[in-house]
Amino acid sequence: MAAHSDPAGTVVLGGGFAGAYVARMLGRRGATIVSPENFMLFTPMLPEAASGTLEPRHTVVPLRMMCPHAKLLLGRVVGLDAERQRVRVETEEELVTLSYAQLVVALGAISRALPIPGLAEHALPFKSLADAIHLRNHVLRRLEAAAGATSEGHRRRELTFVFVGAGYAGVEALAELADLVRDALRFYPSLRHEPQHWVLVDAAPKILPEVPTRLGEYAARQLARRGVDIRVSTTLNAAEPHAVTLSDGSRILTSTLVWTAGVQANPLLAQLGLPLDERGRVRVDATLRIEGVQNAWSLGDCARVPNEATPGRFDPPTSQHALRQARRLAKNLRGDARPYRYRTLGEVATLGRHRGIANVFGLPIRGFLGWWITRTYHLYQLPLLSRKLRVVADWTTSLFFRRDIAELSMLGHPQRLIDTVTESDGDSPS
Ligand SMILES: Cc1cc2nc3c(=O)[nH]c(=O)nc-3n(C[C@H](O)[C@H](O)[C@H](O)COP(=O)(O)OP(=O)(O)OC[C@H]3O[C@@H](n4cnc5c(N)ncnc54)[C@H](O)[C@@H]3O)c2cc1C
């Protein structure tokens, strides 16, 4: 086992929103980021990466560019010795021990899976860049399958898309992908007049429960106008390879089930022996220090963060809050330890086709302006000028050209040389 010792240093576990911003804001003071990827995923743009409005690569920010003074150790934390102030990290090559003076735990959340028959096997998650790319390819494949279908029933099944979870991620992903399908169908003459069936399911009595009721109702009306079948106060009972059963008794034939029904704190936190609440989140005090663990701090989706501005309520799992927590934590690590306090600016969401909603300082804005504010806010939040320009270029291009409908699922599976040799052996004249 290799040992990397910098006992005076700060080690940040996780290179997501929270971890990357802490390291960035520590500036020249430096830190070591432990992350399985060398980039930070800008999740608010993930639905657009899935629909192809944005090149997926442009929705991630390389950690070495974002945090030029930080060191990066590519790997996964697998153990913590809080007494001796060490973490164990598994890299591609070896097991590494890192000593730290201060530890920042920013391990985020994972998709929350419920014990629903068939869910784990048949539902597609929507949390990572790989999920977004996979979903886009999957949807384009459904169009190819529908075009080649020989029966009406098969065609209808392939053109039916079920999303479970009507929070931001579910609503935005559905709206963006519905736009992708609508645009793509121009190139499928045999499907042009075929009806599509988009279903949005949620256990709550309304969609987008995080936004003010009027905006939520507007979003529901917009989606319904575009033919989305919204089923609230409804749960998924079972999933099969080509069907889902809902609690309202319906059985829907579909080859696409997308699961966006919330997140849960990273289960690894329990293995690290950290103090957790009943939802598995790290317990921190008002300054973001982990309760009862020396020189350790936590923030973001993996932590239960009290907020002085909202007494009695903990922060929701959003990038907006992770970013503000990171700002406070970076100052606290510099020795100016004060309680975290942040009053939310509001909420924004896109609904596809130049429609969106924004609640800015309590002012509800909808329609084109809501969409424009959402995009502008996300662009402002995206780190690095070079990334912002790439995104603007993508958006501008998409105004003038049709979406790319190439299905690229083979990208993750390059042909091995040995396969090529075997294939060409058969063809070669002897
Ligand atoms: C589809 C989608 C859309 C969203 N849209 C919005 C939005 O519009 N607005 C908004 O405010 N919020 C949005 N969110 C929520 C936002 O993404 C999160 O609140 C935010 O990412 C939290 O930051 P985090 O650093 O705590 O977690 P993450 O960003 O998830 O980062 C956790 C990091 O920990 C790393 N990690 C995991 N295990 C290990 C390990 N063993 N060792 C080392 N590293 C590890 C992961 O690779 C990851 O990089 C969205 C989320 C999703 C999924």
pLDDT for the residue 4: 59
Q: Which two tokens stand for residue 89?
A: 């990290």
CA distance 73 to 264: 25
CA distance 173 to 134: 13
pLDDT for the residue 109: 96
Summarize pLDDT for 237-274 with one digit per residue, the tens.
999 999 999 999 999 999 999 999 988 999 999 999 99
Phi first, then psi, for residue 29 (nearest 5°) are -60, -30
Summarize pLDDT for 183-205 with one digit per residue, the tens.
999 999 999 889 999 999 999 99
Q: Which atom of ligand 1 is nearest to the CA of 127?
A: 53
Q: Which atom of ligand 1 is nearest to the CA of 15?
A: 49
Q: Which atom of ligand 1 is nearest to the CA of 47?
A: 1
CA of 30 to the centre of ligand 1 (A): 22
Q: Which two tokens stand for residue 362?
A: 């309590």
User: How many beta carbons lie within 10 A of that of residue 89, not counting itself?
Assistant: 24
CA distances from 108 to 255, 290, 298 (A): 30, 15, 10
Domains and CATH numbers, the chain: 2-111+264-344 (3.50.50.60), 119-261 (3.50.50.60)
Q: Which atom of ligand 1 is nearest to the CA of 268?
A: 41
Question: Are the C-beta atoms of residues 163 and 260 closer than 8 Å to each other?
Answer: yes
Does the CB atom of residue 39 touch ligand 1 within 6 A?
no
Summarize pLDDT for 341-399 with one digit per residue, the tens.
999 888 899 998 889 999 998 899 999 999 999 999 999 999 999 999 999 999 999 88
pLDDT for the residue 130: 94
CA of 112 to the centre of ligand 1 (A): 13
Summarize pLDDT for 287-315 with one digit per residue, the tens.
999 999 999 999 999 999 999 999 999 99
Average pLDDT over residues 60-75: 97
Residues 6+ apart with CB under 8 A from 137: 407, 408, 409
Does the CB atom of residue 268 touch ligand 1 within 6 A?
yes
- Please report which confidence band the pLDDT of residue 430 belongs to, taking 50, 70 and 90 as the band edges: very low
Does the CB atom of residue 324 touch ligand 1 within 6 A?
no
Does the CB atom of residue 15 touch ligand 1 within 6 A?
yes
pLDDT for the residue 192: 85
Alpha helices in 334-430 (DSSP H): 367-381, 385-400, 417-427
pLDDT for the residue 166: 95
Does the CB atom of residue 297 touch ligand 1 within 6 A?
no
Summarize pLDDT for 359-370 with one digit per residue, the tens.
998 899 999 999
CA of 240 to the centre of ligand 1 (A): 29
CA distance 251 to 241: 13
